[in-house]
């Protein structure tokens, strides 16, 4: 474990909802590399449906939490990658979960004193969130870069 | 001069919620002309996807339909497949399934009570706003929910989309020593649940009652959760195998949604499922502690005020915790974690009580165990007609409210039923059209 405490990477989404499967696919990629990539040693790799209390439980007490998600936004082209730190998560950020948006979940964690030491969101703009399997090509193309970026983040001192 | 004032309330959906929906209320003058709730239901997609899959796959696949109640989908799927294959599970396995299901009830009910429903009664726009003032309450809710979460994690292998469940039982069953640590946590959560009943009993409930026929599973001798016979408050009873003889799902004329169906009782009318229906038909089989809590909270023989469903959920949370402790105390591991489920050409039926109400599955299998047909009837589609009826009557009495207030109160009325869409409507924009 790092000197800064537990590190967790959380892939948010549902792989039966097209581009929403981005988060789970990225963490599957990380899990596949964990045995051979020393940067991922002792990193807690999880999947979440985004339900806010479970997200809060997953990152409570962590020194670093990296949340990987797909978002629906009109302002960027499909496959555009976003990297957001804690303070950039506006309440209306469109990575919504079953009940509360990710921004609101962060705000709730803040009120409850249950935020990780550092929170980074790696997101990709998606276009298809209907029922079905498989990412759209622009979102699928973003997977390797986000896997690598997550590895870099958890390896930072 | 005409004083006709037409207005339309449209609440549209967001991406990525387990059930997605839209609410539409059209008012003309002092008359409610149209009320409709469009729900885009995930089961329709999964029914198609299941065809051609092996008979062992539905528990894993259907668990993905809902992040809040995967266990319900898994248990209904197991019941249906085992029915088709003529298999009965070990009683100890059945007890473990009931324990697992208690965990899901605790999670789901607590989430709804504390994060979705209570803010409505206390005048907060969201759980976040409530937490700013009453952090202690939200902390209590999260602690209770975590207790349910841990049951699901221990038995299911992980908290979401449990991976330890299979047709015929579990891949692996826990030792008594593994379950023991849960007991102390559940005991603490039980005290918190009793406090929750007392807390919500003090809420101010609107004076609103319905006359829907209530439908739930009943299992004489125990509060129905993982199995039972279907019963209604009008005296209708039937075996789960005859579910489709009595329940008719029909495409509603107004709906433009491809997946929206309304369920009705054949030859009768709308009906409602969920905690209030379950409580009304199963009250006598609550544990003494839960029954005492219900009585002290003012719940009588039935519950026909949908706003008081929060109270029933609180009582059912007490029951689920009490029952989970009882099941852990008497737990003896089964000789084998599962029984083999050899396929055969047959049709199987299964139903369980999901947190939101009865969840029906039916699968047709060929001799090789490939699925030839699948049918899933979720609680939300069964409640849809009743919710619309509530909204129609509710809006009629509140036309003096402005659109914002009326929309907010309609959303509350919808949330009484805890449909998956309750979350989406909480955050949606309102469009008002006037002619």
CB contact under 8 A, A47 and B160: yes
Cα nearest neighbour of B13 on chain A: A96
Strand partners, B365: B346, B371
Average the pLDDT over each of A23-37, A118-132, B314-328, B419-433 and give the range with the smallest value: B419-433
Residue B1 lies in a domain: no
Most B CBs within 10 Å, among A45, A60, A95, A98, to test the B interface: A98
Residues B250 and B129 in one domain: yes
Task: Give the CATH number for residue B83.
Answer: 1.10.645.10
Lowest-pLDDT range of A103-107, B56-60, B178-182: A103-107
The pLDDT, as a whole number, for residue B420 is 62
pLDDT at B36: 76
Instruction: Enter the tokens of residue B374.
Output: 């699948």
The closest alpha carbon to B331, from B221, B186, B183, B223, belongs to: B183
Tens digits of residue pLDDT in B200-210: 999 999 999 99
A107 CA to chain B: closest CA distance, Å?
Answer: 7
In this prediction, residue B26 carries a pLDDT of 80
Contact B111 A51 (CB under 8 A): yes
| B173 and B241 inside one domain | yes
Residue A139 lies in a domain: yes
Strand partners, B434: B7
B22 within a domain of the structure (yes/no): yes
| Mean pLDDT value across chain B | 86
Asked if residue B352 and residue B225 are part of one domain, the reply reads yes
Helix (H) or strand (E) holding B375: strand B371-377
- Per the structure block, which two tokens stand in for B256? 């433009």
At residue B17, the pLDDT reads: 31
Give a yes or no: residue A96 inside a domain.
yes
Say yes or no for a CB contact (<8 Å) between B160 and A48. Answer: yes
Q: What's the pLDDT tens digit per position in A57-107?
A: 999 999 999 999 988 776 778 899 989 887 655 444 433 333 456 788 888
Per mean pLDDT, which range of B3-17, B214-228, B362-376 is the poorest? B3-17
How confident is the prediction for chain A on average, in pLDDT? Answer: 86
Query: Residue B428: pLDDT band by 50, 70, 90 thresholds?
Result: very low
pLDDT in tens, B399-420: 888 887 887 788 788 888 877 6
> How distant is the Cα of A94 from the closest Cα of chain B, in angstroms?
9
Q: Which of B47, B111, B128, B376 would best serve as a mutation to test chain A binding (most A beta carbons within 10 A)?
A: B128
| Confidence (pTM) | 0.89
CA terminus-to-terminus distance, chain B: 15
What is the rounded CA–CA span in Å between residue B3 and residue B28? 10
Does residue B148 carry a pLDDT above 70? Answer: yes
| Domain tally, chain A | 1
pLDDT of residue B252: 65
Which one of B340, B362, B379 terminates a domain?
B379
Pair (B251, B323) in one structural domain? yes
- pLDDT tens, residue by residue, A126-147: 888 877 889 999 999 999 999 9
Verify whether the Cβ–Cβ distance B135 to A111 is below 8 Å. yes
In this model, does residue B84 exceed pLDDT 90?
yes
Residue A10 lies in a domain: no
Distance from CA of A108 to the nearest CA of B (A): 5
pLDDT at position A74: 65
| Domain assignment of residue A24, yes or no | yes
Are B149 and A47 in contact (CB < 8 Å)?
no
What is the nearest CA distance from B65 to chain A, expressed in angstroms?
9
Contact: B131, A53; criterion CB under 8 Å: no
- The residue of chain B with its CA nearest to that of A107 is B128
Nearest chain B residue to A113 by CA: give it: B135
Residues B303 and B319 in one domain: yes
Domain that holds residue A31: 16-155
A54/B159 touch (CB, cutoff 8 Å), yes or no: yes
Number of domains in chain B: 2
pLDDT above 60 for B156: yes
Same domain, B373 and B425: no
* Domain, as residue range, for B312: 43-379
- Among the three residues B332, B347, B379, which one is the final residue of a domain in this structure? B379
In a domain, A7, yes or no: no
B264-286: string of b/e by CB count within 10 Å (b at 16+)? Answer: bbeeeebbbbbbbbbbbbbbebb
Across the range A42-70, mean pLDDT stands at 92
CATH code of the domain in which A80 resides = 3.40.50.1450
With beta carbons under 8 A apart, name residues in chain B contacting A17: 16
Contacts of B16 in chain A (CB under 8 A): 13-14, 17, 20, 50, 72, 96-97, 129
Closest by Cα among B409, B127, B190, B387 to B270: B387
What are the chain A neighbours of B130 within 8 Å (beta carbons)?
Answer: none
Return the residue in B12, B13, B14, B16 with the most chain A beta carbons within 10 A, the one to mutate for interface testing. Answer: B16
| Residue B13: predicted pLDDT | 35
Same domain, B90 and B36: no
Asked, for residue B319, whether it belongs to a domain, the answer is yes
Q: Is the pLDDT at B10 greater than 60, yes or no?
A: no
Residue A9 inside a domain? The answer is: no
**What mean pLDDT comes out for the span B312-326?**
98
Shortest Cα distance from A96 to chain B (angstroms)?
A: 7
Identify the CA nearest to B108 among candidates B411, B397, B379, B298. B379
Interface residues on A facing B, Cβ-Cβ cutoff 8 A: 13-17, 20, 47-54, 56-57, 72, 94, 96-101, 104, 107-108, 111-112, 129, 131-132
For chains A and B, CB pairs below 8 A equal 85
- Please determine, for residue A51, whether its predicted confidence score (pLDDT) is greater than 60: yes
The whole-number average pLDDT for the span B41-64 is 87
Which residue in B42, B149, B423 is closest to A131 by CB distance?
Answer: B42
Tell me what the mean pLDDT of segment B216-237 comes to.
Answer: 97
pLDDT for the residue A100: 54
Percent of chain B at pLDDT > 90 equals 63
Residue A1 within any structural domain of the chain: no
pLDDT at B349: 98
**Are residue B101 and residue B60 in the same domain, yes or no?**
yes
Q: What is the pLDDT of residue B243?
A: 96
Please write the tens of the pLDDT for every residue from B339-382.
Answer: 999 999 999 999 999 999 999 999 999 999 999 999 998 888 88
| Residues B415, B284 share a domain | no
Cα distance from A90 to chain B (closest Cα, Å)?
Answer: 14
Q: How many CA atoms lie within 13 A of B80 on its CB side?
A: 34
d(CA B276, CA B314): 11
How does pLDDT run across B59-73, given as a tens digit for each residue? 999 888 777 788 999
Do B300 and B424 lie in one domain? The reply is: no
Partners of B423 on chain A (C-beta within 8 Å) are 98-100
Residue A97, pLDDT score: 32
Predicted pLDDT of residue B40:
59
pLDDT, tens digit (0-9, with 9 covering 90-100), for B89-147:
999 999 999 999 999 999 999 999 998 889 989 998 888 899 999 999 999 999 999 99
Claim to verify: residue B30 and residue B148 sit in the same structural domain? no
More confident site: B261 or A36: A36
B342-346 long-range contacts, Cβ below 8 Å, gap at least 24?
Answer: B342/B85, B343/B55, B343/B85, B343/B367, B343/B368, B343/B369, B344/B84, B344/B85, B344/B86, B346/B84, B346/B85, B346/B86
Cβ contact A99–B126 (<8 Å): no
Q: What is the DSSP letter of B116?
A: I
> Does residue A4 fall inside a structural domain?
no
Instruction: Report CB contact under 8 Å: A98, B45.
Output: no
SS3 B233: coil
Q: Are residues B90 and B17 in the same domain?
A: no
């Amino acid at each position: 474990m790092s000197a800064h405490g537990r590190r967790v990477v959380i892939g948010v989404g549902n792989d039966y909802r097209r581009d929403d499967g981005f988060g789970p696919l990225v963490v599957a990629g990380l899990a596949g590399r964990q045995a051979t990539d020393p940067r991922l040693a002792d990193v807690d790799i999880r999947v979440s449906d985004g339900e806010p209390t479970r997200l809060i439980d997953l990152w409570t007490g962590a020194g670093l939490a990296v949340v990987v998600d797909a978002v629906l936004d009109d302002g960027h082209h499909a496959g555009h990658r976003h990297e957001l730190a804690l303070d950039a998560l506006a309440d209306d950020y469109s990575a919504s979960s079953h009940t509360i948006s990710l921004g609101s979940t962060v705000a709730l964690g803040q009120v409850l004193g249950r935020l990780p030491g550092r929170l980074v969101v790696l997101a990709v703009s998606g276009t298809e969130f209907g029922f079905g399997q498989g990412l759209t090509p622009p979102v699928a193309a973003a997977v390797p870069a986000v896997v690598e970026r997550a590895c870099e983040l958890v390896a930072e001192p | 001069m005409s004083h006709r004032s037409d207005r339309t309330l449209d609440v549209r959906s967001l991406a990525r919620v387990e059930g997605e929906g839209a609410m539409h209320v059209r008012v003309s003058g002092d008359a409610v002309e149209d009320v409709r709730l469009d729900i885009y239901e995930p089961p329709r997609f999964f029914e198609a996807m299941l065809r051609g899959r092996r008979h062992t796959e539905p528990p894993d696949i259907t668990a993905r339909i809902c992040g809040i109640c995967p266990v319900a989908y898994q248990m209904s799927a197991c019941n249906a497949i085992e029915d088709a294959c003529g298999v009965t599970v070990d009683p100890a396995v059945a007890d473990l399934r009931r324990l697992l299901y208690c965990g899901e009830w605790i999670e789901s009910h607590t989430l709804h009570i504390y994060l979705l429903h209570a803010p409505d009664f206390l005048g907060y726009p969201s759980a976040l706003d409530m937490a700013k003032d009453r952090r202690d309450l939200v902390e209590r809710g999260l602690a209770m929910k975590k207790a349910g979460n841990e049951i699901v994690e221990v038995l299911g292998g992980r908290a979401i989309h449990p991976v330890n469940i299979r047709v015929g039982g579990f891949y692996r069953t826990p030792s008594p020593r593994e379950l023991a640590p849960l007991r102390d946590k559940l005991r603490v959560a039980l005290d918190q649940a009793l406090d929750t009943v007392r807390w919500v009993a003090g809420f101010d409930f609107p004076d609103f009652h319905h006359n829907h026929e209530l439908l739930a599973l009943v299992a004489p001798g125990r509060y129905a959760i993982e199995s039972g016979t279907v019963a209604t408050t009008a005296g209708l009873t039937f075996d789960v195998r005859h579910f489709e003889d009595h329940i008719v799902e029909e495409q509603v004329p107004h709906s433009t949604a491809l997946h929206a169906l309304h369920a009705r009782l054949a030859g009768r009318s709308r009906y409602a499922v969920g905690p209030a229906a379950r409580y009304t038909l199963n009250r006598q089989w609550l544990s003494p502690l839960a029954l005492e809590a219900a009585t002290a909270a003012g719940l009588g023989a039935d519950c026909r005020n949908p706003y008081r469903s929060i109270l029933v959920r609180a009582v059912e949370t007490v029951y689920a915790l009490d029952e989970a402790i009882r099941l852990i105390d008497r737990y003896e591991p089964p000789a084998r974690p599962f029984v083999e489920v050899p396929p055969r050409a047959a049709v199987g039926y299964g139903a369980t009580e999901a947190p939101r109400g009865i969840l029906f599955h039916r699968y047709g299998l060929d001799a090789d165990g490939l699925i030839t047909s699948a049918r899933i009837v979720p609680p939300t589609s069964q409640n849809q007609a009743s919710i619309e009826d509530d909204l129609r009557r509710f809006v009629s009495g509140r036309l003096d409210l402005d659109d914002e207030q009326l929309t907010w109160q309609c959303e509350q009325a919808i949330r009484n039923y805890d449909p998956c869409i309750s979350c989406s409507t909480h955050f949606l924009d309102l469009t008002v059209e006037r002619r």
